[in-house]
Amino acid sequence: MKKAKAVLALEDGKVFEGWAFGAGGEQTGEVVFNTSMTGYQEVLTDPSYKGQIVTMTYPLIGNTGVNEEDLESAHPQVEGFVVKESCPFPSNWRSAETLNDYLKRCKIVGIEGIDTRALTKHIRTAGAMRGIISTEDLDPSSLIDKARKSPRMEGSDWVRAVTCGEPYDWGEGEKKYRVAAMDFGMKHNIIRHLASRGCRVTVVPAHTRADEILALKPDGIFLSNGPGDPAALPHLIETVREVLGKKPIFGICLGHQLLGLAMGGRTYKLKFGHRGANQPVKNLRNGKVEITVQNHGFCVDLDSLPAAQVEITHINLNDQSLEGMRHRWLPVFSVQYHPEASAGPHDSAYLFDEFITLMEKHSKE
């Protein structure tokens, strides 16, 4: 069967021609790359990718098809998907449909057949930037203009597009702890980790007020991952600031960044971000190196945090950026990466145990 043409154009004028897969149409987004060799289904459904067109650096994607168990949210969250080659004949006993059929059913525009290595090297040099995938308008100059007019990640509230509409509970039967989880775009496996450790998790929308969260009488508060620029969310920063010191707090990804801002720090945009399941992080408290799952384009400036209040606990070994912190006397800690490891290595699952220990200790005080 003859494939339809597709074009990926970047705002700086770089253009890649390939073939359409998934849904036809046209979609803009910030073009980024992910270095994971597996876990494309978890990548597609991670709400932290809202507003972004994701390029997979591993050349063959779709080998194991798509199943119902590995979704990290109800549907794909990426704006578009870029691969070197999409596998048309997956082989896995759990596979329910092909990647192509899944993207088509979920109306996600994809492009394959381009040089993803060249695209990745370009982004590493020039930085992540706005782009557009189209199977309709194939004129490079027109597409470049559309990319330049599309929304930026900086200064925009992307959380509103991915947070839950109403509070809901996860975890059946008697549970030892109750956790209020602020949903900035939370992955399902985070809730699974908490539930498996004896937590009844009440997930609340991102805009929930601090007094409403505390009225749930939680044993701890979890600040989830999510998309976009943390500095563009002053209402969420204020909410985090209001619950500081009231209950044990564990934050990851966007939750970590909001916590850093609430404690007086600053954030900045990374040139091309950290996205993949192979990011080395050093735990400064024990000297061990963890291989971590990451997905973020912004970072807390470690030099901006008040040293008298905040201890730096984890550092990225690739660029020495901040990966973890802990308040020196309040029951509060956070990491930039994704310890729920879906998909990816499980080196950092101990952080959920530390949260349980913190809630246990605080309940006795």
- pLDDT score of 173: 67
Q: Which domains does the chain have, with CATH numbers?
A: 5-149 (3.50.30.20), 159-363 (3.40.50.880)
Q: 167-198, pLDDT tens digit by residue? A: 999 877 678 999 999 999 999 999 999 999 99
Tell me the pLDDT of the chain averaged across its residues.
Answer: 96
Determine the residue type at 201.
V
The predicted model gives 41-64 an average pLDDT of 97
- pLDDT score of 1: 64
The predicted model gives 204-209 an average pLDDT of 98
Q: 315-341, pLDDT tens digit by residue? A: 999 999 999 999 999 999 999 999 998
Rounded Cα distance, 243 and 133, in Å: 42
**Maximum Cα–Cα distance across the chain:** 69
Confidence band of 274 (pLDDT split at 50, 70, 90): very high
Question: Got the DSSP string for 100-160?
Answer: HHHHHHTT-EEEESS-HHHHHHHHHHH-SEEEEEESS---HHHHHHHHHHSPPSTT---GG
More confident residue, 19 or 365: 19
Exactly one of 30, 290, 323, 340 is catalytic; name it: 340
CA nearest 301: which of 319, 289, 317, 328?
Answer: 319
- pLDDT score of 199: 96
Active site residue 253: yes
- pLDDT score of 344: 82
- pLDDT score of 341: 86
Active site residue 340: yes
The predicted model gives 278-296 an average pLDDT of 97
- pLDDT score of 363: 81
Q: 24-48, pLDDT tens digit by residue? A: 999 999 999 999 999 999 999 999 9
Burial class (CB in 10 A: 0-12, 13-18, 19+), 149: exposed
pTM of the model: 0.96
- The answer to whether 295 and 186 are in contact (CB under 8 A) is no
The predicted model gives 284-297 an average pLDDT of 97
Q: 100-147, pLDDT tens digit by residue? A: 999 999 999 999 999 999 999 999 999 999 999 999 999 999 999 999
Exactly one of 122, 274, 296, 338 is catalytic; name it: 338
Question: Got the DSSP string for 223-247?
Answer: E----S-GGG-HHHHHHHHHHTTTS
Helix (H, G, I), strand (E, B) or coil at 303: helix
- The answer to whether 281 and 292 are in contact (CB under 8 A) is yes
Active site residue 338: yes
- The answer to whether 274 and 288 are in contact (CB under 8 A) is no
- The answer to whether 332 and 326 are in contact (CB under 8 A) is yes
- pLDDT score of 219: 97
Torsion region of 318: left, alpha or beta (phi above 0 gives left; psi -120 to 50 gives alpha): alpha
Rounded Cα distance, 99 and 40, in Å: 9
Exactly one of 30, 72, 253, 296 is catalytic; name it: 253
